[in-house]
Amino acid sequence: MAHPLYVWLRKRIRLDIFNITCGDSHLGQLLKDLLRQYKYTVGFIIALNCVAAMFEGSTMGALLLALDVLLGEKTTDTQVSFMLFQNFMVAMEERFGRGGIFAVYVGLAVASQLLRSGFQFLGRAATAYLQAWCEQDLRSRVFRQFFSVRYDHVVKYKIGDMALYTHQTNGMVSYLGYLNMLVSDLLILLTYISVLLWISWPITLFAVVTLGLLSFGLSRVIRLVRNAATQFVKATIRMNEQIVEYLQGIRTVRAFAQEEHVQELVDDTLREAMLANRRSLVWEATILPLVECLTVICVAALLVSCYALLDVNQQWLPRLAVYVFVIYRLMPRAGTINGNLASLKKLYPTVSRISAILREDNKPYMRDGGKSFEALRHGIEFRDVSFLYDGTNTPAVKDISFSIPRGTMTAIVGESGAGKSTLLDLVLRLYDPTNGVILADGVPLPEYDQKAWRNSIGMVNQDIHIFNATIHQNIAFRRPDSSRQETEHAARIANAHEFILELPDGYDTVVGERGMRLSGGQRQRIAIARAVLHDAPILILDEATSELDSNIERKIQESLARLSSDRTIIAVAHRLSTISMADQILVLEGGRLVERGTHRELLDLDGIYARLWRIQSQSEEHVQK
């Protein structure tokens, strides 16, 4: 059975966490997780703070005894002289008189204060280490969270907001720092109160009531700080979202000559954030002056109470002097505690966002099976697959069934919004079907290891993402350990080697954010080279050559045809001439599979595919003329 003191302490800590986190159970759980994770470091910090507080109390006791010696009190007979030092004190008095005892007490006071400062420094240093570890850990956890939750959930966040989440982890670090200072100040405050109780418990009760009134008076200011901080965080989020969005669309902004309009929108948001931040800082700045004014009032009231409650005489003067000195040390500490509480309230909106994004019970995660996947042996099958995006009422695809045999090329065509990209995303398992099932070699995709399945797929997207890295690093993204020779071989197949050599640093050229130093066709060829180097058994081509001219497109198609002899290819194309040699062509309309067959079979059917073929053929003939 647990000791009653342990039970009380555990309940007290839980209540304090509840109050500090404003009743936010998820933030409280995050703090408790961090405490468990770094329990030895936290325990070491608390021990250092306790020792520092103990030496602070011993300093006050030594000063009181030194003053008693000055007034002639025989301190060697008092209980405060400690039995361990009794004989030493008697010897000092016999040899040096009162001056020797006075010097000992003064030396003890100085030594205690030096030791207190040393242990306090060690506690702050250990806290700095803890903060650095926590910041690294939290940023890693936030970043991992964005890649762990289901894709349809994470795409709801704006890029600027996600970047802000990783940056705001330093708010949690500051939160932990203020918590440490709060604990340290509370321990020293308890030490001061113990000294005061030892000197005079009636006056101390009066002081405790005064401190309670002070804290109650400051609670209103702290609430105002928290409210202003919440408004500032919201305005900061909007500001970051706007800045990132308009910087990403800087080409469109300039093309439409909307620089001034965009600047006005951003300035309005910046002004809103500035006003909220100013209110927060002003209210926070009132705390220390208010505490200092109340300190003087409280000390004056205590002196009056001392005169009224005590028989003040010469023997009481040392105790009264130490009492007032302790009060002057205590009141700023109480002000610091309230300031730390205000800072915790101010940081609450930030740290609550971190705890909210790290929550796992309210977020969807993709089921990850444990079955290994090495290569496609038979094929991929869609059985009555339907998919509905969140927030929509109309299925993107509905009741679709077809098979993709291994080693064949399947093309998907249809007008915009027909569901082509959705099918590719379902194959990649960015989403799972709302109804129906997708199987690979007769096994539902969710039963496979997710990473192993995606590693078996190479892809060239219509919306190509090129990283702000070198050409070599971009091509070798799926295989970072690839040699330069392997990278160049893939680039030759993608017809990219020649233009890469013309760049300032060749394969070591840094291409800028999203490949801004490359043209659309060059980015597409880099993406094709990336897929070629990956050498996956399944290849997905989503408008893989849409940015290329006919001559380069023909060369790449020939290269891909040679590579596809033993690969399963799924291709989406608006330009039907690029997929006319496919083993089967699927025609989508309104999310449904309406036609299926080879190029010749669909032309003979004279349906939607035949109509699209005739329109594109006439357009190409018109362009040639």
Phi, psi of 448 (to 5 degrees): -85, 155
Q: Is 586 exposed, middle or buried (0-12, 13-18, 19+ CB in 10 A)?
A: buried
Bigger pLDDT: 294 or 80?
294
According to DSSP, residue 32 is labeled H
Tokens 């050409």 belong to residue? 471
- For residue 625, the model assigns a pLDDT of 46
Q: Is the pLDDT of residue 13 over 60?
A: no
Asked whether residue 209 carries a pLDDT value surpassing 50, the answer given is: yes
Residue percentage of the chain with pLDDT more than 70: 71
pLDDT in tens, 191-202: 777 777 777 777
Residue 595 DSSP code: E
Residue with tokens 């009481």: 316
Q: Name the pLDDT band for 299 (thresholds 50, 70, 90).
A: low
pLDDT at 84: 46
In angstroms, the CA 171 to CA 142 distance is: 13
Weakest-pLDDT range from 68-72, 118-122, 241-245, 282-286 = 68-72
Domain 457-535 maps to which CATH number in 3.60.15.10, 3.30.2130.10, 3.40.50.300, 3.40.50.720? 3.40.50.300
What pLDDT is recorded for position 18? Answer: 59
What band does 231 get if pLDDT is binned at 50, 70 and 90? confident
More confident residue, 418 or 162: 418
Which pLDDT score, from 0 to 100, does residue 22 have?
Answer: 56
401-413 pLDDT per residue, tens: 999 998 888 889 8
- The closest alpha carbon to 582, from 566, 568, 563, belongs to 568
Q: What is the pLDDT, as a whole number, of residue 563?
A: 58
Least confident of 494-508, 520-534, 547-561: 547-561
**Which pLDDT band, with edges at 50, 70 and 90, does 623 fall under?**
very low
Is residue 94's pLDDT more than 80? Answer: no
Predicted confidence (pLDDT) at residue 474 exceeds the cutoff of 70: yes
pLDDT surpassing 70 at residue 541: yes
At residue 383, the pLDDT reads 92
Total count of residues recorded for the chain: 625
Bridge-based pairing state of the strands 443-444 and 457-460: unpaired
Q: How far apart are CA 158 and CA 149, in angstroms?
A: 15
Lowest-confidence pick of 27-31, 252-256, 280-284, 553-557: 553-557
| Pairing state between β 538-542 and 397-405 | unpaired
Q: How far from the centroid of its chain's Cα atoms is residue 210's Cα?
A: 41
Summarize the confidence of residues 96-118 as an average pLDDT: 77
Q: Which of 44-58, 70-84, 344-358 has the lowest mean pLDDT?
A: 70-84
pLDDT at 437: 92
**CATH 3.40.50.300 domain range(s) in the chain:** 373-455+568-625, 457-535
How far apart are the C-alpha atoms of 98 and 445, rounded to whole Å? 89
Question: Greater confidence, 244 or 398?
Answer: 398
Which residue type does 133 have? W
| pLDDT 10s digits, 32-58 | 778 788 888 888 888 888 888 888 777
Distance CA 55, CA 201 (A): 21
pLDDT tens digits, residue range 555-582? 666 656 655 667 888 888 777 777 888 8
CATH code 1.10.10.10 for 24-358: no
Distance, in Å, from the CA atom of 72 to the CA atom of 90, rounded to the nearest integer, reads 15
Q: What is the 3-state secondary structure (H, E, C) of 23-70?
A: CCHHHHHHHHHHHHHCHHHHHHHHHHHHHHHHHHHHHHHHHHHHHHHH
Residue 111 in tokens: 């030594």
DSSP-derived secondary structure letter, 430:
S
What pLDDT does 382 receive? 92
Please tell me the predicted confidence (pLDDT) of residue 536: 82
Alpha helices in 535-585 (DSSP H): 550-563
For residue 365, is pLDDT > 60?
yes
Residue 611 has pLDDT above 80, yes or no: yes
Residue 81 pLDDT: 43
pLDDT of residue 255: 66
What's the mean pLDDT when you consider all of the chain?
Answer: 75
pLDDT at 141 over 70: yes
Residue 443's identity, in one-letter code, is V
Q: What are phi and psi of 245, to 5 degrees?
A: -60, -45
Report the first-to-last Cα separation within the chain, whole angstroms: 95
Q: Which stretch of 17-26, 171-180, 273-282 has the lowest confidence by average pLDDT?
A: 17-26
Task: Kindly state the tokens that stand for 364.
Answer: 């969807």
* C-beta of residue 490 within 8 angstroms of C-beta of residue 530: yes
Q: What is the pLDDT of residue 29?
A: 76
Q: 500-513 pLDDT, tens per residue?
A: 888 888 888 888 76
CB under 8 Å to 548, separation ≥6 — which residues?
521, 524, 525, 556
**Closest-CA residue to 225 (of 348, 334, 356):** 348
Give the residue-averaged pLDDT of 528-549: 76
Pinpoint the residues of the chain covered by CATH 1.20.1560.10: 24-358
The H-assigned helical ranges of 502-597 are 520-534, 550-563
Is residue 514 scored above 70 in pLDDT?
A: no
Please list, in sequence order, all residues whose beta carbon lies within 8 angstroms of the beta carbon of residue 513, skipping any fewer than 6 positions away: 468
CATH architecture of the domain with residue range 373-455+568-625: 3-Layer(aba) Sandwich (3.40)
pTM (2 d.p.): 0.62
Examine the pLDDT at 78 and tell me if it is beyond 50.
no
